[in-house]
Structure 1
Amino acid sequence: MRSPLRPALVLVALLAAGCVPQVAPPPVATPGPTPTPAAPPPPRPLAQDWRDWPRTPGDWRYDAATVVARYDAPDGRPLLTLACDRAARRITVTRPSVAAAAALTVRTTSTVRALAVQARAPADATSPIMLDATLAAGDRLLDAMAFSRGTFTVEQAGQSPLVLPAWAEVGRVVQDCR
């Protein structure tokens, strides 16, 4: 048997469904002005003792064929190069620089020495100036760099100091050049 109320209930349900208000989708936001990126925080001041300074990011690479040890930044830019001239028995320490030819100061756990440099013109307008300091292969500063406890620094006025690990590559270029 059919209930006489059933068609009336269906009709009421359909009418009630038609009374539900339709929600319009939110308006599409128009892009506003691009916010200016925040300036990077200023670098933290270095600790008073250089042995507590953070190591410069990067890695040493050694090429036995040319007797060159190179410390490269993570993006591949060379930060310091130790290159041997076997015929002259000399090692040239090279650092890219944006400043004039100011002396390089090498600091190890056993010694500190300023090195006179010669500026080399950049390869192109976008490359930095290269500063070269030449040492005899038997110079004790090279041994101090190779055997410094943990790290050594290469500093120049107007530039961030390089805090480099005293890894085997330094000793290899020195030993292979002697």
Structure 2
Amino acid sequence: MRLHPIPAAFAPLLFLLPSCVGAPDQAQRPAPRQVPPRAAPAPAPASAPAPLEWQYRPATPGNWTYRQEGQGSAALFTSPAAGPLLTLRCDPAAGRISLLRAGAGQAAMTLRTSYGAVNWPAAASPSGTIATRAASDAALDQIAYSRGRFAVEVQGLDTLIIPAWAEVGRVIEDCRR
């Protein structure tokens, strides 16, 4: 195919060619559609906030103390307002450690650590709810080495979020000697 050059005399007319097209017909355009204003969306129903995982809850106020008792030792977590909330007591003759949670609760104690959760059978005592374990129980190490805190849950009582201080490990080690 061969292209023919346009003679120079026709070149100015090429610029006028687009001006020959007429204006668009206004009658052919559809009128813009009117959209009614939308109503504001209904507010979402208020729902209860999702419960926080135990490790994100604030710690129970209080401090640990350690003391020697006869042949064994004890660590007490005490609240300034409520007195002793949790006591770890070593009975070296029996090779057992007891956890005493202040308050009467149901027959199970759940301990939550950064390693997981364990359920221990518990019983009512005159001073609270008590669970007793062998001093060699690996869950005791999990309590002592939990990342900064552990939780003690007894059905019917508030959950305690307790700092994992050295006093806990000290009682456990006293009982393993």
What is the TM-score of this pair, normalised by structure 2?
0.67
Unaligned runs of 5+ in 1: 1-43, 122-128
How many residues are aligned here? 127
- 2:137 maps to what in 1? 139
- 2:99 maps to what in 1? 93
1:152–1:165 contact (8 Å) kept in structure 2:
yes
- 2:87 maps to what in 1? 81
2:102 matched to 1:104? Answer: no
3-state DSSP of counterpart to 2:140: helix
In angstroms, what is the RMSD of aligned CA positions?
Answer: 1.9
Q: Which runs of 4+ in 1 moved over 4 A?
A: 44-47
Unaligned runs of 5+ in 2: 1-47
How far the C-alpha of 1:76 sits from its partner, in A, is: 5.8
- 1:148 maps to what in 2? 146
2:104–2:124 contact (8 Å) kept in structure 1:
no
* Cα pair distance change 1:133/1:46, threshold 3 Å: farther
Q: Of Structure 1 and Structure 2, which has the larger fraction of its residues in strand?
A: 2
2:170 matched to 1:172? Answer: yes
Q: Percent identity?
A: 44
Choose 1 or 2 for highest CA Rg.
2
Distance of 1:160 and 1:134 partners within structure 2: 20
What is the TM-score of this pair, normalised by structure 1?
0.66
One-letter identity of the residue aligned with 1:139 = D
3-state DSSP of counterpart to 1:69: strand
2:82 matched to 1:59? Answer: no
2:62–2:80 contact (8 Å) kept in structure 1:
yes
